[in-house]
Amino acid sequence: MINPLPGRWRWPLLHVALFLVGIYLYSLLVEFVGGFSTQVMYRQWPEALLVLSFYGLLYALLRPSRWRPWLAAAPILLIYLTHDVFYLAYGKVFRFINVAELPELLQILPPLYVVLLFLLFLAPVTVILWQIDYRRPLRILLACLPLLLVVSLIKATPEAFATGFKTLVYEIVKYSDGKSVETNGRLAMMLYREAEREGVLRAIQPYLNRPGYDKAFTGEVERIRPHLQARNVHLLILESFLDPRLFHDLKLSRDPVHPDFAALFGDQLGLSRSPLFGGATSQAEFEVLCGVPALEQLSSIEFNTFTGAPARCLPDFLGRLGYRVTASNAYKPNFFNTQPAYRGMGFAEQYFSREFLPREPTYLTFGDPGLEEYIFDGDLLPQNLAFVRRHLAEHPGQPLFNYLLTIFGHTPHNEDLDKRPRLIKVETPHNDEHLERVVNHFYYRTEALAAYVRELITLDPDSLIVLVSDHVPPLQFGPPTYKALGYMGNIEGSHFYNRIAILDRGRPVTYPPLRHFDFPDLIVDTLTGGRYCATAECDYLSTTKPPREDYADQYLALMAHASE
């Protein structure tokens, strides 16, 4: 029987077939551990073309050898692996712009993990570069042309690329990045989102009107000035502050809340929906301080686009009303472009631990947390109290906006059992080794917070105190742990909800579930006795809130000027 395929094509085609089967089996494995569903994978024909083109490009570049098919497949599998680890850990879809987060990621990972990452990614890349057949430059050029063409189209005509893409794929699911990936594929959606981002960079140009933007902002400040009750505001964003009582299927050996905290707040704790899960604290900061959703249309981290130009956020608003606006951050100043972002938001004073910024004046000391790695709340909060005490003594006539970001409780939730022994045992059918650590952290953190708040009320009885978690921690297995244990009854997006605690003149107050970007309206409305939202569009009291996309105009106007 005559074989219709020339001999030189048989092995490459077999390699391609095995590669596609391998991709499918890999996808099934990822689905099994909680990743993207493969139910509609048959719709991903643009993804299949991209994967095959990428595989063929790499295959063509490499010298013939027994390792050639494996080396050609390795980068694609690594890209898929990156997508899936990111999704499983953070519940978010990986995008090109997430590469900008790599420096922050490397700083918080243990050294062993960093070494493993380098080996995992650099080893195959190094071997591939070594195995490229450099004696055939024309082949290299021709093999790279399709990739160069796609990149050029995204950069030169992003709107046309995105429009064309939408006509080819089955559906872009507006409400879910994850479902869009399941329908269209990882690589395909990564290209589409990059084209969309490039389009937004062009789209913000009409919003860039500094005189008009500043004039409108000044008008809003002056409208509020006659109604302002100039009271001090203490706003704390707490790292990974998870209330274990929100798990439906979790048995604890004792109450995880310290009695002093329970005495202050009782059952008067609220909820707010964060823009993120498990990481990227600056996204929560952005929403809480700027009052618009973090839509990630210019970057996966809004802070990364700030240049220090005035963005007109809550600190700037209060600063123009005569407040002393200060930002105190318990961690490193180079995290997420924090210093330019704080400056753009209007913070006149920024304080970081002297260990991380030794040449700048500060009242903060990080100390040596030892095994726990991050400064404990009980060591950080007294330093802020001393700062508030000095302000009250030295600036008795000036109201204070005291913003503080904590860091204790950051993954991997290390424990120093000599300092803080485990008091609470956890019973659960879902084994997650980080869970018991977080539960015990919560007990000790509520003790430290109660001591801080009690002293703050004594020092500053008329103040407004707001405590909010940036996000819930990823724990060991990410969203699957939250789903398995019935967090928030597994309502839609349950793992994005966080505890908040608000004290107005020493008395706890609650609201319908908020979103993190509701806080500027809530704070200004409280400081004006409700007059602010009586004449402005405020949604924080509404039980039926508009979708995040409805705030796109405010978001784009702010980001256009923040990135000036």
Question: 291 and 165 share a domain?
Answer: no
Contacts by residues 539-543 (CB-CB < 8 Å, ≥ 24 positions apart): 540/511, 540/514, 540/515, 541/511, 541/512, 542/512, 543/512
Residue 488, in any domain of the structure: yes
pLDDT tens for the chain, 564 residues long, are: 445 555 565 666 777 778 788 888 888 888 888 788 888 887 888 888 888 888 888 888 888 888 888 888 888 888 888 888 877 766 667 877 667 666 656 665 566 666 766 777 777 778 777 878 788 788 777 777 777 888 888 888 888 888 888 888 877 765 466 778 888 888 888 888 788 777 777 777 888 888 888 898 899 899 999 999 999 999 999 999 999 999 998 888 999 999 999 999 988 999 999 988 877 888 899 999 999 998 887 766 787 777 778 888 999 999 999 999 999 998 877 666 788 889 899 999 999 998 887 878 899 888 888 888 889 999 999 999 999 999 999 998 899 999 999 999 888 888 888 899 999 998 887 777 788 899 999 999 999 999 999 999 999 999 999 999 999 998 887 888 888 888 988 998 889 999 999 999 999 999 999 999 999 999 999 999 988 888 777 888 887 888 888 888 889 889 888 887
Query: Helices marked H in 132-176 — which ranges?
Result: 137-156, 158-168
Residue 422, in any domain of the structure: yes
Rounded distance, CA 20 to CA 12, Å?
12
Question: 427 and 281 share a domain?
Answer: yes
- What is residue 183's predicted lDDT score, i.e. its pLDDT? 86
Cβ–Cβ < 8 Å for 467, 265: no
Four-residue CA torsion sign, 380, 381, 385, 387: positive
- What is residue 108's predicted lDDT score, i.e. its pLDDT? 55
Question: 291 and 247 share a domain?
Answer: yes
Question: 245 and 186 share a domain?
Answer: no
Rounded distance, CA 492 to CA 489, Å?
9
CA distances from 334 to 25, 155, 329, 339 (A): 41, 29, 11, 7
Residue 222, in any domain of the structure: no
- 0.75 cut: is pTM over it? no
Cα–chain-centroid distance for residue 498?
14
- CB burial class (10 A; 0-12, 13-18, 19+) of residue 175? exposed
Residue 4, in any domain of the structure: no
Residue that finishes a domain, picked among 153, 184, 203: 203
- What is residue 269's predicted lDDT score, i.e. its pLDDT? 93
Question: 550 and 492 share a domain?
Answer: yes
Question: 196 and 236 share a domain?
Answer: no
- CB burial class (10 A; 0-12, 13-18, 19+) of residue 219? exposed
Residue 390, in any domain of the structure: yes
- What is residue 427's predicted lDDT score, i.e. its pLDDT? 86
Q: Reduce the secondary structure of 490-525 to three states and give it as a string.
A: HCCCHHHEEEEEEEECCEEECCCCEEHHHHHHHHHH
Question: 130 and 189 share a domain?
Answer: yes
Q: Encoding tokens for residue 503? A: 């004290």
Residues 6+ apart with CB under 8 A from 386: 363
Question: 249 and 165 share a domain?
Answer: no
DSSP code of residue 63: P
Q: What is the number of domains present in the chain?
A: 2
In one-letter notation, the amino acid at residue 203 is A
Domain that includes residue 362, residue range = 232-562
Question: 275 and 318 share a domain?
Answer: yes
Question: 317 and 437 share a domain?
Answer: yes
Residue 122, in any domain of the structure: yes
Question: 309 and 385 share a domain?
Answer: yes
Question: 189 and 246 share a domain?
Answer: no
Residues 6+ apart with CB under 8 A from 97: 194, 197, 299, 300
DSSP code of residue 425: -
Residue 520, in any domain of the structure: yes
Cβ–Cβ < 8 Å for 259, 454: no
Closest CA to 271 of 526, 511, 464, 490: 511
Residue 485, in any domain of the structure: yes
- What is residue 1's predicted lDDT score, i.e. its pLDDT? 43
